[in-house]
Amino acid sequence: MGVCGSGKTVVGERLAAWLGVGFRDADEFHPRSNVEKMSAGIALTDEDRWPWLDAIAAAIRAAPRDAAVVVSCSALRRIYRDRIRRAAGRPVTFVFLSGARETLAGRMAGRKGHFMPASLLDSQLRLLEPPSPDEAAIEISVEQPVEAVVAAVIDRLRPRPPVGVSPRPTGPASAPRA
């Protein structure tokens, strides 16, 4: 999740590939009217977003129960994230890709063929409600190369041993010596 230009699609695709799971880009769920509005530089309203958010939640719900799915989605406000969580019918972890306006604007200026104009960045930044601590979201700065962003997400998704318990070593160094 994050504003336009934060790298949701590229990070999501790479994360899904690393996890060996499916990837869905939330842009594919927008009705034509939403795409036309954004292409014209008009920010979406909540009423524009509700059906889109419901379609995203339905895609998460439709994924096999024993498999994860990675979905890129702006999910700018808590009410949007809560709607996805409720309608998805399964646990959802949000990864918030955060960055400085200058970084985001630079990335948007370099994009080719995307319907979202750079002029909508400021409206998204105004609307953005970063996840609260009680949402248990993962925040990752995009002020680093994409590979580092993906690695940071993977690291944060890995389960941690309980406090006071050392992780069991793995690999060649842990093999018994003869």
Write down the pLDDT at residue 112: 61
For residue 24, the cross-strand partners are: 71
Write down the pLDDT at residue 69: 93
**Positive/negative CA dihedral, 93, 1, 142, 145:** positive
- Identify the domain containing residue 139 by its residue range: 8-157
Tokens matching residue 12: 């999501």
Decide: helix, strand or coil at residue 41. Answer: coil
Do the domain assignments include residue 137?
yes
Do the domain assignments include residue 172?
no
Do the domain assignments include residue 178?
no
Q: 4 CB contacts (<8 Å, ≥6 apart)?
A: 74, 104, 108, 116, 118, 120, 121, 124
Do the domain assignments include residue 2?
no
Write down the pLDDT at residue 40: 84
Do the domain assignments include residue 173?
no
pLDDT by residue (tens digit) across 103-147? Answer: 888 776 655 655 555 567 888 899 899 999 999 899 999 999 999
Write down the pLDDT at residue 119: 64
Do the domain assignments include residue 116?
yes
Whichever domain contains 53, its CATH number is 3.40.50.300
pTM, two decimal places: 0.81
Tokens matching residue 30: 């927008």
Decide: helix, strand or coil at residue 23. Answer: strand
pLDDT by residue (tens digit) across 6-40? Answer: 889 999 999 999 999 999 998 899 888 888 887 88
Do the domain assignments include residue 176?
no
The residue with tokens 């949000």 is 94
Domains in the chain, number: 1
Using alpha carbons only, give the angle 83, 92, 96 rounded to the nearest 5 degrees.
90
Do the domain assignments include residue 62?
yes
